[in-house]
Amino acid sequence: MKSLHRFTLVALSFALQSAYAQPVETRSTLADQQEVAVTIYNDNLALVKDQRRVQLKSGPLALAFRDVSAKMRPETALLRSVSAPGSFQVLEQNFDFDLLTPQKLLEKYVGQNVSVIRTNPATGAEITEAATVLAANNGVVLKIGQRIETGIPGRLVFGDVPANLRDRPTLVMALDNTGSVQQDLELSYLTGGLAWRADYVVELAAADDKLDISGWVTLTNTSGASYRNAKLQLVAGDVNQVAPEMVQRGRVLAMAAPAMAKASNDMAEESLFEYHLYTLGRPTTIAENQTKQVALLSASGVPARKELLLKGNDYYYQSSAGELGQKIKVAVFVEFDNKESARLGMPLPKGVIRVYKKDAAGNAQFIGEDRVDHTPKNEKVRLKLGEAFDVTADKKQTDFKKLGGTSKYNYVFESAYELILKNAKKEPVVVTVQEPMPGDWQIISASHAHTKGAANTAVWKIAIPAEGSTALTYRALVRY
């Protein structure tokens, strides 16, 4: 009851102060900052923990926490005393993100008086007139004496800057302090405007059987604030967020940073719930409106495999099709295993992998890129880099028969195909042919042995000699 009574008196005190005079603000700037920690998630979300040493007077006061993120989610803000826990109560908070500009100042002065100063071009003398700002949208409308003028006829002089118009994003909190004068405070909050992604650079060996890989974290800061010498952590994973229209008012507690394992890379990695947490082993500055890169991982001599793949369709197994294509392009893939035995074995955050290969003169040339999702340890990474220039295919249906059936549920079709694979290279190649097969299917005859890649896929591995060609023929029976 005593606590409730005191809270009521403090709230009444603030109400009386608001009615007669605003309390003098205690301002905290970046000069007070002791440390800042930033945890950034994949989807334009970050957790900021800003610790500052501030002089607080006893009793009711207004604390203006300047230089916070302009894209702060104020409902998640939590202020606590690190040096004197429980020494104050937060009674109210206001997030002022309307920043000071000439246009904003005009808008705040609509209906109020300003001074207009004109200069006589002949004499240089200045004349001052009182004016009322009538409008500031799509131009300025002023009432000067008994006349109305549009535009700005001279210099405008304003009496003061409105209290809710700030030069920097500011969180203003009404506090009741019963603790010490000097305290270490920590403000934690969620914010937009901070994002990261992984970018990888791969160099493929001359024989296409090994690769070197470097991973980089690309950070982008458009939050409207800078984070100097920040403790940086990154969370890789798909973290669920409530849709904006369903966000509930409340506070989000700052996550405690777990103990980190040692790692040889700058980025130490560990599991966090169902995600992965990467911690930079040194402080870094994330400046406002900046994109920067931080090394994530590197590995060399990773075993790799190249595959030339020709993939068909299933529509022509149930109708007469004839010619199915000339000079059909063959896709080029490179894959490798994310395993310790392959000199990797680290969870790879989603991002873009760009692949290079050296030419005859030793210059690295770009040969393709692909986007990969979050890849756990011991999984395979498969990249589509493009389509082969020197390996093509001609395909046609050589026979088609309807063997039975009166409806789409008991049709039986038999069809035959010829696939001419051509290789203009000076070395032999192997092409993987994948044919999606509809319904209940069977390969009756074929010039080359096939395997069943899946329940609905027939797969052939076709060797093609240098500057030569190979014909694949087969006959298929399909039942629906």
Write the pLDDT tens digit of every residue in 83-112: 999 999 999 998 887 667 788 888 888 999
Distance between CA atoms of 423 and 412, rounded to whole angstroms? 36
Q: Which two tokens stand for residue 471?
A: 């014909």
How many CB atoms lie under 10 A from the CB of residue 139? Answer: 9
- How far, in Å, CA of 72 to CA of 227, rounded? 14
Backbone angles phi, psi at 397, to 5 degrees: -90, 120
Low-confidence ranges of the chain (pLDDT < 50): 1-21, 246-264
The C-alpha torsion from 374 through 380 and 386 to 391, rounded to 10°, is -170
pLDDT for position 264: 38
Specify the amino acid at residue 303.
P
The HSE-up count of residue 379 (CA atoms within 13 Å, CB side) is 12
**Two tokens, residue 297:** 């991982």
Specify the DSSP element, H or E, that contains 8. Answer: helix 2-20
In eight-state DSSP terms, residue 70 is T
Q: What is the pLDDT of residue 2?
A: 46
Q: Check: CB of residue 203 under 8 Å from CB of residue 336.
A: no
Mean of pLDDT over the chain: 87
Label the pairing between strands 457-464 and 380-404. unpaired
Sequence-separated (6 or more) residues with CB below 8 Å from residue 304:
204, 205, 208, 209, 210, 211, 334, 335, 336
Structure tokens at 255: 């996550």
Cβ neighbours, 10 Å, residue 170: 22
User: What pLDDT does 102 receive?
Assistant: 84
pLDDT, position 232? 95
Q: Which of 125, 280, 293, 110 is nearest to 201 (CA)?
A: 293
47 touches 39 (CB < 8 A): yes
CA atoms lying within 13 Å on the CB side of residue 189: 25
Structure token digits, residue 444: 């009756």
* pLDDT value, residue 29: 92
Region for residue 208 given its phi and psi (left: phi exceeds 0; alpha: psi -120 to 50; beta: otherwise): left
Helices in 62-154 by DSSP H: which ranges?
Answer: 102-108
Predicted pLDDT of residue 166 = 76
Q: What is the pLDDT of residue 16?
A: 42
